[in-house]
Amino acid sequence: MGSRVPGCRTTFAAAARLRPFLIPESKDRNPGKPDLPSVVLSIFTMAPVVYGIKEAAVHGFGPGPAAFMAFGLAMGIVFVRRQRSLASPMLDVRLFRNKVFSTAITANVLSLFSMTGFIYFFAQHLQLVEGQSPMQAGIAMVPALLATIVAGLVVVPLVKRIRPGLVVASGLALSAVGYLVAALGNHSQGPGYLLTALLLLAIGVGSAETISNDLILGAVPADKAGAASAISETGYELGSLLGTAVLGSILTASYQHHLLLPGELSGHAGERSRETLAGAVDAAATLPQPLGDALTAAARAAFESGSTSQRRSGSS
């Protein structure tokens, strides 16, 4: 194993040196300077919105979460207005006037929203409900993740015969079918139906995001390819962030709503159990076996109810 490392380093070093000669470089004629106020505004846009969503899931939608989300949205409006006023904006919102570009970015956001939201609950399900180790849970998800890559390779020649927009829409529809399979499956039959659902979701996401990325870069001038690629990457991050925040919050809120703790349980163990399934499993390990088993069963039932609500939300 050790002898392979120097060879890899040599290969990467050679590739780095040859890159300027073999790969044509594309530059923005007017790259502009970094705009610190835009960076600050982007942070004050996303952070309060995500915090408000998660607080609403834990404590209910009240004045506090609403204020945070309203503040974030207000900062978002200021951010967009600033980008429009700059000659060289951090995020060129004018690119969104192109319908193909904006639709493809939306597809990217939805793809990552659905994928990360599903994996967020599925990893917990495999470990805390099915009793698998982190390694086993990771290995169980490998086929679906490989399917994402294969789907991306398979759909490339398809767009020569089928409209790209139809391929993207079909991929997103298949993702929704994956969520429906997960939501309507028989929970007593083990994780097989969830693995099938994840496979469908992965194929759909791999198909949609591969073609949408090509549409994004093809919809802008060559000197804006870097900006378009950056926006595409931002769409990935935004989709992942919102998938975890929104669908994760739905899961948490539904879990807490459905959780029926054993009557004799109170104190710190009860508080930990109300927060998450992981907290309930940890608390159960410190209790006498009959009480611990009852707590684990109640928490897993609540988690399954919560994850069903989450998957139905994801499919819509």
Mean of pLDDT values over 40-48: 90
**Which range (32-46, 104-118, 291-305) has the least confidence?**
291-305
CA distance readout (Å), 231 to 1, 116, 199, 284:
39, 19, 27, 45
pLDDT at residue 3, rounded to an integer: 39
Quick one: pLDDT band at residue 72, thresholds 50, 70, 90?
Answer: very high
Tokens representing residue 102 in the block: 């904006």
Task: Write the pLDDT tens digit of every residue in 154-211.
Answer: 888 888 888 888 888 888 888 888 878 877 766 666 677 788 888 998 998 888 888 8
* DSSP assigned state of 128: I
pTM, two decimal places: 0.70
Highest mean pLDDT among 7-16, 44-53, 255-264: 44-53
Dihedral sign (CA 116, 121, 122, 126): positive
Banded model confidence at residue 2, pLDDT cuts 50, 70, 90:
very low
Report residue 8's pLDDT band, with 50, 70 and 90 as the boundaries: very low
Alpha-carbon distance 181 to 101, whole Å? Answer: 31
Beta carbons within 8 Å of 205's beta carbon, 6+ residues apart: 111, 112, 114, 115, 148, 151, 171, 175
Burial of residue 269 (CB within 10 Å: 0-12, 13-18, 19+) is buried
The helices-and-strands tally (H runs, E runs) of the chain is 12, 0
Contact 228, 219 (CB under 8 A): yes
Nearest CA among 232, 186, 185, 179 for reference residue 202 = 179
- Per residue in 139-151, is it b (16+ CB within 10 Å) or e — as a string? ebbeebeebbeeb
Separation between Cα atoms, residue 304 and residue 316, nearest integer Å? 19
CA atoms within 13 A on the CB side of 128: 27
Q: What is the Cα 278 distance to its own chain's centre?
A: 21
What tokens does 132 get? 């698998």
Q: What is the DSSP letter of 189?
A: G
The total of other beta-carbon atoms located within 10 Å of residue 90's CB is: 20
- Residues 79/36, Cβ–Cβ less than 8 Å: no
